[in-house]
Amino acid sequence: MRKYTFNKLIRSKLPDRMAKEGVVVNSQKLEIEEYVVQLKQKIIEEANEVSEAKSREELITELADVLEVIYAIAESTEISQVEIEQARIEKREINGYFKPENYVHYIQVAHDNHKVIEYLENKNRPYKFT
């Protein structure tokens, strides 16, 4: 038999389907803390698949996968979908929403604007001083 390493979460109905196809699945039940860690990895995987989607249909499918992982993270950490939606609305009221005309190439910050500089440099953010 050929061995393929996965080391990732898969959907709950897949092991039975794989077994019916003659595949031997080596798996384990994760503790809740490790499960959440793996879900966080899964959302990155699914988000990458969103960015690679070529058609509307693929995009719908991949966005559905992202939502499924979000719901699993929320459920496993006892966060309700209502709480998530409330936070989304609050952030939208404070920061607005995404629009095509708001793509920023760079910003310029005065050297003495320590508050903004500290925010940009001390957070785990992708901003680089050039």
Sequence ranges of the domains in the chain: 14-97
pLDDT band for position 127 (cuts 50, 70, 90) = confident
Residue located via tokens 């690679």? 52
Region 60-81 average pLDDT: 98
Give me the amino acid identity at 14.
L
**Per-residue confidence (pLDDT) for residue 53, from 0 to 100:** 98
By the 8 A CB rule, do 43 and 70 touch?
A: yes
CA-CA distance, 25 to 27, in Å (whole number)? 6
Question: Mean pLDDT, the chain, as a whole number?
Answer: 94
* pLDDT per position as a tens digit, 30-70: 999 999 999 999 999 999 999 999 999 999 999 999 999 99
Region 83-102 average pLDDT: 96
DSSP class of 89: H
**In this prediction, what percent of the chain has a pLDDT beyond 70?**
99
3 state DSSP class of 1? coil
Q: How big is the chain, counted in residues? A: 130
Structure pTM? 0.84
User: 47, exposed or middle or buried, with CB in 10 Å at 0-12, 13-18, 19+?
Assistant: middle
